Amino acid sequence: MKMNINKEDFKTTMKMAWPAMLESFFTAFVGLVDSFMVSSLGSNAVAAVGLTTQPKFIGLSMFFASNVAISALVARRKGQDKRDEANGIFTTFFLFILLMAGIISALLVVFADPIIHLCGSEPQTHDMAVTYFKIIMGCMIFNVIGMGVNAAQRGSGNTKITMRTNLVSNIVNVIFNFLLITGKCGFPALGIQGAAIATVLGTVVACFMSLYSVWKQSTFISIPLIIKTKIKPSFDALKQIVKVGYSVFIEQLLLRVGFMATALMAANQGTQAMAAHQVGMNIMGLSFSFGDGLQATAVALIGYSLGAKQPEKAKDYGRTCRMIGGAIAIFMSFVYLFGARPLMTAFFPGEQEIIDIGVSIMRVILFVVILQIPQVVYMGSLRGAGDTLYVAVVSAVSVTIVRTSASLFFGYVLNWGITGIWLGVIADQVVRYVLARARFQKGNWVNIKI
């Protein structure tokens, strides 16, 4: 599709987007490295970690929603040049996530065993999955704080700070994976428990780096400013967060129900299929990371433009992010085309059956990525404008209903197994892309007030 892109818009977008994309990419890449390092313990261990993915994200759903809200609100207030109001919203947001993290973390640790059973665990994977899940979710408060502060920073346009935070965090994660999974340099061999501890240590570092990034008077979101001017949490700020975030929260819950259904179907195909599925999800996460970085950029630029009463500029930034995303999607599809078998062989050397399953999954991902990155950018553009209810409805319908129904049909009715289950992912992406694109092009989202 021919597009006229303003060079200045492109430069502004790329200046903000490349740190956000790099941050998301390294987070996804470390997830892939995690799976690779865990694969040294066997396919059961890979499957066990995979079983914890969806319940972990369900536990984090409220925080993903509040992060979208704080990014959009901070970006809008920056465009309006209302720094004190932005910091008031951040103060309320920070207190809210601290309280909720403590409650949710305790519940997930207490009920870890039945939760993992519900996820379709088998005797050879259950205990490992429970151990991993308890450690990760028991220490989730560090992850929640780091993500929350970074979301506020992205809303204010400080994507380089969040990139550095996540880059260092991921390096710490990989180093301690190396030291703790199989035992190196005098450290104990803790297996899957070591992988979980390494992940937590990475989030601890990220948490303190994120807090340090707002411990400056000069930053738009500033803890010293909050203390100096005695900014306090307010019910009005909480209402603003809820207004933007409630639909995202519902969306996240319904998304995770749909993703959980897909994971259960994959687990039902056996441990080998589940192991290949988990690696496929990690690989697909690499392409999603670029869309996620562009989405964060779109939220900030569109929120700022609308706050400054420049609706046409907001549309231009959305189109620019979409164009960049489309180019990356085509590139990634070629990477997956030629890298499918080498990647799967690296994860499961000598396990030809799992490799073949993984390659068939990768062939589906080739088509997923073409739709995935552009639709994520469109969705982010709409979120940045505050059109979160529409995004929530589209996501819920496409993932919970379309993906689940299509996966059941192709995987079980047509008996195409794990490949058929992944065809449901394509159906989901088609629906989300078509509906998000139509909404974006209509343009009414620029009139939403938040």
- What share of the chain has pLDDT > 70, as a percent? 99
The pLDDT-based confidence of 1 (bands split at 50, 70, 90) is: very low
Taking all residues of the chain, what is their mean pLDDT, rounded to a whole number? 88
Other beta carbons within 10 angstroms of residue 239's beta carbon come to 11
> Could you tell me if 429 and 291 are in contact, meaning their C-beta atoms sit under 8 angstroms apart?
no
> Could you tell me if 228 and 370 are in contact, meaning their C-beta atoms sit under 8 angstroms apart?
no
The pLDDT-based confidence of 43 (bands split at 50, 70, 90) is: confident
Contacts of 405 (CB under 8 A, 6+ apart): 424
User: 370 vs 29, which has greater pLDDT?
Assistant: 370
- What's the confidence (pLDDT) of residue 42? 82
User: 217 vs 209, which has greater pLDDT?
Assistant: 209
* The pLDDT of residue 297 is above 50: yes
* The pLDDT of residue 318 is above 60: yes
Q: Model-level pTM?
A: 0.76
The pLDDT-based confidence of 3 (bands split at 50, 70, 90) is: low
pLDDT, tens digit, for every residue of 409-422?
Answer: 999 999 999 999 99
* The pLDDT of residue 120 is above 80: no
Average of per-residue pLDDT across 124-138: 91
* The pLDDT of residue 2 is above 60: no
Q: Could you tell me which of 248, 242, 196 has the C-alpha nearest to residue 61? A: 248
Tokens 């589209």 -> residue: 394
d(CA 181, CA 198): 9
Tokens 């989202």 -> residue: 445
- What's the confidence (pLDDT) of residue 4? 60
- What's the confidence (pLDDT) of residue 5? 66
Average of per-residue pLDDT across 136-148: 94
- What's the confidence (pLDDT) of residue 46? 81
User: Of the ranges 146-150, 188-192, 282-286, 318-322, which one carries the lowest mean pLDDT score?
Assistant: 282-286
- What share of the chain has pLDDT > 90, as a percent? 47
* The pLDDT of residue 140 is above 50: yes
* The pLDDT of residue 34 is above 80: no
Q: Find the largest Cα–Cα distance for the chain.
A: 65
